[in-house]
Amino acid sequence: MEKNCISCKKKIVNDPGSATFKCATFKCPQCAKYELTRCTNCRSKAAKYACPGCGFTGPN
């Protein structure tokens, strides 16, 4: 299943043979209704994201 990084909008492909495109999926800490996915690149940079449901922004 393909997902897009919530921060950079790049398509994330989880290739089992590669560690390059590991992503983190987590529920919005505010509304818990949306699953947000970020790539490792944005996670390491603490890039901003916004929940499409409630507008919560963070890295946290």
**Interface positions with Zn ion (CB under 5 A):** 5, 7-8, 28, 30-31, 39, 42, 51, 53-54, 56
Query: Could you tell me if 6 and 33 are in contact, meaning their C-beta atoms sit under 8 angstroms apart?
Result: no
d(CA 51, CA 21): 21
Shortest reach from residue 23's CB to Zn ion, in Å? 8
CB closer to Zn ion out of 3 and 8: 8
Shortest reach from residue 17's CB to Zn ion, in Å? 21
CB closer to Zn ion out of 13 and 31: 31
Considering only CA atoms, which of 56, 40, 46 is closest in space to residue 5?
40
Give the largest Cα separation in the chain, rounded.
35
